[in-house]
Amino acid sequence: MRKLHQAVDAELWPGDRDTVELRFVLNGAAVYRRTWASRDEAVRDATAKRTELERDGWMFHW
């Protein structure tokens, strides 16, 4: 997502014992981390955050 020359990305990382860590990275620095029991839960969290960011004027851009 991009807004006013800022960039935020969501990343999924494998965790311990079949968990998945969701990270949000703002301009290259991790600003949010949370471990989920499944990939589906992590994706739901990322989707909810994307909805919030879009409401605040952030846009998906290649």
CA distances in angstroms from 38 to 14, 22, 30, 32, 45, listed in the order given = 10, 10, 21, 17, 11
Amino acid 23: pLDDT: 96
Which helix (H) or strand (E) covers residue 18, if one does?
none
pLDDT value at residue 16: 85
Cα–Cα distance measured from residue 43 to residue 39, given in angstroms and rounded to the nearest whole number: 6
Q: What are phi and psi of 41, to 5 degrees?
A: -65, -40
**What's the full length of the chain, in residues?**
62
Per-residue pLDDT of the chain (62 residues; tens, 9 = 90+): 999 999 999 999 998 888 999 999 999 999 999 999 999 999 999 999 999 999 999 998 76
